[in-house]
Structure 1
Amino acid sequence: PRGAPPPAPVRPASARRLLKWLTGHFGLLPFLVYTGVFLGAPVVMVVLGAFQDNDGAFTTENITGALADQYGRSFVTSIELSALTATLGAVLGALLAHAVLGSKPDGLLRKIVSSASGVLANFGGVPLAFAFIATLGSIGIVTKALTGLGVDLYGGGFNLFTFTGISIVYVYFQIPLMVIVFTPALEGMREQWREAAENLGATKWQYFRLIAGPVLLPPFLASALLLFANAFSAYATAYALTSGVVPLVPIQIGSLVSGNVVADQQNLGKALGLGMILVVALVMAIYAWMQKRASRWLG
């Protein structure tokens, strides 16, 4: 009819879906911008720089150099250190979490362990290294106390500033982190499963082997992988403790980027960083897959 307004333009279905998604996730925009600027852009720069020489030309020498000699050994050392501390932290942390959950839900023990785990899991860097040096160093409090009792800690082969010492320090913050990430899985175990198993005549070992163990295995392995990634990417604690004597990938990257070893080797450091990104990405992908499997039972 005359005078009627023209019909509104019909948007394609894809445009409508995109507009609906943007409207529903508008609150994520600041987070996406923040992540893109401080995570996405550096990753892109590392990936591009790993395949460039100092003049900007394409090369694969950085990748080859990152896998050879002391840099290749640093990957092996970092993986060994991360695997060892993740295994110890996962086992000891799971046992501690299980023991704490056996106490009263509103009891003092659970509150203390939960609060301490939240603090100690984030206690790292130079302060943690200094705390261990003051405690277990060559002139540390515990070392002097043991010497007074006739126990020569360093004479017996122990040294805080070696691979063994770093492992002890890393386990210190790996255990509380395991308590934090694994406790929800233990809390997700349903009491009806245990009661049903007991009513059917199952022993505690049979309940754990046939029910609790298979259900808790995926979240346990996922938590252990998270601990692995946490140790693999740690830098300040190991550097402050050993000054780079123990070859670890983060320390090698820091030395190359700052030019402490060889000048104009920043792109080699980026190649090492690319290797770290690939290792952590693989670990976190497996972690996400295991968490998805665990959510089927514990969700």
Structure 2
Amino acid sequence: MSRRLRDLLGVVPFLVFVGIFLVVPTLVVAIGAFLDEDNRATLDNVTALADGYIVQAFVRSIVLSAVTAILGAVIGALLGYALVTAKPDSTVRRVVTSACGVLAQFGGVTLAFAFMATIGLSGFVTLFLRDSLGIDIFSGGVWLYDLPGLVLVYTYFQIPLMVIVFLPALDGIRPQWREATESLGGSTWYYWRRVAGPLLAPAFIGSTLLLFANAFSAYATAAALVSQGSPIVPLQIRSALTSEVLLGRENVGKAMALGMVVVVAVVMALYAVLQRRTSRWLD
């Protein structure tokens, strides 16, 4: 019994962290979504999610997350496969994986400022192209500060995240399997279609779902980049909590946050199922 208690003590800091930063905020959001301004039970906040502008915000958030997740997954998987072909202890692989670990966490205001300083209206690349080559990348509109810009910026940190989470699955593919396929007369296409492809599919889909959840819940980068309007749900929640024009919308913001929690919970549940399937052959 004393040994079990000592083992549990090591988990206490983690449980406290999860309780303060995950469980408590989730309960506050879930309870507040069903309360009015006078803390009386109501369904008005939840039914408000059917309003046109909120539905459009959820649609745009889902589209943004899906597009950046697919782009990040495809490009990241190709980059990860290129790394697998190198030696495990090679300098190139160590440098690239280290860089991916840093860039996957490089977001928020810093990332938004980096893009604005590079390809913003007064960015040095924008000015160079305009003054030296006569190319105006904003001739069709200021796309960087709208959804197309968010797609570009989100993809920037989605690719290295994909490399990190998908690389273990690629490392699990044994070279002997390809050699066995070739010795039996199988082509490269046959190998990827019947051997490596089915084995990597659960890990690839699971990693894509993780990227979707990562983009869907991102806030700081979009808040720093989009100065006008609230095209996605996190920015709609900010508007509901801080707006000085429409008062008393705080609990509607909590209802939108609860909707995000439900979407992310479904996605992460599917991710966990796929990860368990992947771990069977990785072990």
Query: TM-score normalised to the size of structure 2?
Result: 0.95
- Quote the residue 1:61 is aligned against: 44
Q: Which amino acid aligns with 2:108?
A: G
Residue aligned with 2:40, SS: coil
CA contact (8 A) 2:230 2:239 kept: no
| Cα shift at 1:259 | 3.3
After TM superposition, the structure 1 = structure 2 runs for residues 27-176 of structure 1, keeping only pairs within 5 Å, are 27-147=10-130, 148-157=132-141, 159-176=143-160
Q: Which amino acid aligns with 1:48?
A: I
Q: 141-150 vs 271-280, which deviates more?
A: 141-150
Residue aligned with 2:139, SS: coil
- Quote the residue 1:296 is aligned against: 280
CA contact (8 A) 1:135 1:142 kept: yes
Q: Deviations over 1:157-183 (max 9, x none)?
A: 562111111100000000000000000
Q: Which amino acid aligns with 2:97?
A: S
- Quote the residue 2:163 is aligned against: 179
- In structure 1, which of residues 229, 239, 247 is the aligned counterpart of residue 223 of structure 2? 239
Equivalent residues, number: 282
- Quote the residue 1:249 is aligned against: 233
Q: Which amino acid aligns with 1:93?
A: G
| Cα shift at 1:258 | 2.2
CA contact (8 A) 1:256 1:262 kept: yes
Paired with 2:193 and 2:93, the residues of 1 have a C-alpha distance of 27
Paired with 1:260 and 1:188, the residues of 2 have a C-alpha distance of 54
Structure 1 residues without counterparts, runs of 5 or longer: 1-15
In structure 2, the CA distance between the partners of 1:292 and 1:244, relative to structure 1 (3 Å rule), is farther
Q: Deviations over 1:191-240 (max 9, x none)?
A: 22122112211111111000000000000000000000000011111111
Paired with 1:20 and 1:103, the residues of 2 have a C-alpha distance of 45
Paired with 1:146 and 1:239, the residues of 2 have a C-alpha distance of 27
In structure 2, the CA distance between the partners of 1:70 and 1:243, relative to structure 1 (3 Å rule), is same
CA contact (8 A) 1:255 1:261 kept: no
In structure 2, the CA distance between the partners of 1:121 and 1:225, relative to structure 1 (3 Å rule), is same
Q: Which amino acid aligns with 1:38?
A: F
Paired with 1:257 and 1:174, the residues of 2 have a C-alpha distance of 28
After TM superposition, the structure 1 = structure 2 runs for residues 259-278 of structure 1, keeping only pairs within 5 Å, are 259-278=243-262
CA contact (8 A) 1:50 1:268 kept: yes
- Quote the residue 1:225 is aligned against: 209
Q: 214-223 vs 24-33, which deviates more?
A: 24-33
CA contact (8 A) 2:150 2:222 kept: yes
After TM superposition, the structure 1 = structure 2 runs for residues 197-236 of structure 1, keeping only pairs within 5 Å, are 197-236=181-220
In structure 2, the CA distance between the partners of 1:78 and 1:244, relative to structure 1 (3 Å rule), is farther
Identical pairs, percent: 54
Paired with 1:275 and 1:90, the residues of 2 have a C-alpha distance of 25
Residue aligned with 1:218, SS: helix
Q: Which amino acid aligns with 2:159?
A: I
| Cα shift at 1:69 | 2.0
Paired with 2:82 and 2:244, the residues of 1 have a C-alpha distance of 47
Paired with 1:118 and 1:261, the residues of 2 have a C-alpha distance of 41
CA contact (8 A) 2:219 2:234 kept: yes
Structure 2 residues without counterparts, runs of 5 or longer: none
Q: Which amino acid aligns with 1:30?
A: P
Q: Which amino acid aligns with 2:129?
A: L
After superposing on structure 2, the runs of 4+ consecutive aligned residues of structure 1 that deviate more than 6 Å are none
Q: Deviations over 1:257-294 (max 9, x none)?
A: 22345222111110001000000000000000000111
| Cα shift at 1:247 | 1.2
Q: Which amino acid aligns with 2:51?
A: A
In structure 2, the CA distance between the partners of 1:259 and 1:154, relative to structure 1 (3 Å rule), is closer
Q: Deviations over 1:132-167 (max 9, x none)?
A: 001111121111121121212111456211111110
In structure 2, the CA distance between the partners of 1:100 and 1:158, relative to structure 1 (3 Å rule), is farther
In structure 2, the CA distance between the partners of 1:289 and 1:143, relative to structure 1 (3 Å rule), is same
CA RMSD of aligned residues (A): 1.6
Residue aligned with 2:28, SS: helix
CA contact (8 A) 1:225 1:287 kept: yes
CA contact (8 A) 1:259 1:266 kept: no
| Cα shift at 1:62 | 0.3
Query: TM-score normalised to the size of structure 1?
Result: 0.90
